[in-house]
A = this chain, B = another copy of it.
Amino acid sequence: MITVLFAAPALWDEYRDPLPQALKSAGLRAQVVLEAAPETVDYIVYAPSAPLQDFRPFTRAKAVLSLWAGVERIVGNPTLTQPLCRMVDPSLTEGMVEWVVGHALRHHLGMDAHIVNPSHAWVPDPAPLARHRPVTVLGLGALGTACAQALAALNFPVTGWSRSPKSVPGLRCLSGPEGLRAALTGAQIVVTLLPRTPETENTLNAETLALPARGAVILNPGRGPLIDDDALLAALDQGQIGHATLDVFRVEPLPQDHPFWAHPKVTVTPHIAADTRADSASGVIAENIRRAESGAALLHRVDRALGY
């Protein structure tokens, strides 16, 4: 009998049924528990809200399986010696693609002027075609790559940037610090989907926000700290950036006194771009436990040195 400690009590209602079901479907004899003597635990399912902070007593645990894609709140924990896996959930990718493509098309088509049109103005002003609207996606992980490819399928000319060189069909792929400048230069829509690491903090700052085309739109469904908030507000006020639609923030919920709320060129969405869905995530957890039990390599294992 495998013992799985579900160390994310706030999410128990969502996972109570699908996680045991997924383990059973994977052919595993397992029990999912909310509490257990640490030395009896085989796997730990983890979310950042978990009270669990000291992993040393879990001497038998073969892996810590995160329910979140972003692992910045656990990856630096010095007590964690067990393998750590990120959540890469196909439904999370789908939701992210829908949010990114939807908001990219919203800005591309200038929808806001039609959604709010109190003067009932009839001004036929068709957008240019997507093929004439360069888009840059920062980050070519599972989420960034899927979004970039979905945008390219709608004819947007898409540039993807990643820390290390990658090649993705249909995209112009750039990498490294010099590549970042080239990727941002002239972009009309910029999507930030980098992992949160010390290196990615403030990737969009006063200097880099000056590179896109004047009036460019920023979409951030990645992580709040990827953007220097003050630099973004200054770029919006100067007109260098035309609009920012942000789903993630340094503090969430976004505090009521944060200037993003009232800024006419900022749209706040409440961290909804990519939601881990319990059904789908349970299947990913079960598959990783099945792999570990059969001696296969874990999926989506975090490189502790890189931080993701």
By a beta-carbon cutoff of 8 Å, the part of chain A in contact with chain B is: 91, 94-95, 97-99, 101-103, 105-106, 108-109, 111-112, 114-117, 120, 122-127, 129-131, 150, 153-155, 252-254, 256, 261-262, 267-272, 275, 277
Contact = CB atoms under 8 A, between A and B. Distances in A.
A154 B153 CA distance: 10
B122 A253 contact: yes
A277 B270 CA distance: 39
A120 B261 contact: yes
B115 A109 contact: no
A95 B272 contact: no
B116 A256 contact: no
A68 to B, nearest CB: 14
A107 to B, nearest CB: 9
A267 B252 CA distance: 32
A127 B98 contact: yes
A167 to B, nearest CB: 22
A122 to B, nearest CB: 4
Contacts of A127: 95, 98, 272
Nearest to A118: B262
Nearest to A153: B153
B129 A268 contact: no
Contact of A102 (B109, B116, B122, B256): B109
A275 B153 contact: no
Nearest to A269: B114
B98 A101 contact: no
B269 A129 contact: no
Contact of A98 (B95, B108, B268): B108
Contacts of A99: 109
Given A102-B105, A112-B115, A125-B270, 6 more contacts: A98-B105, A114-B267, A122-B253, A123-B270, A129-B277, A150-B153
B130 A98 contact: yes
A95 B126 contact: yes
Contacts of A112: 115
Given A254-B122, A268-B117, A272-B125, A102 B111 contact: yes
Nearest to A121: B270
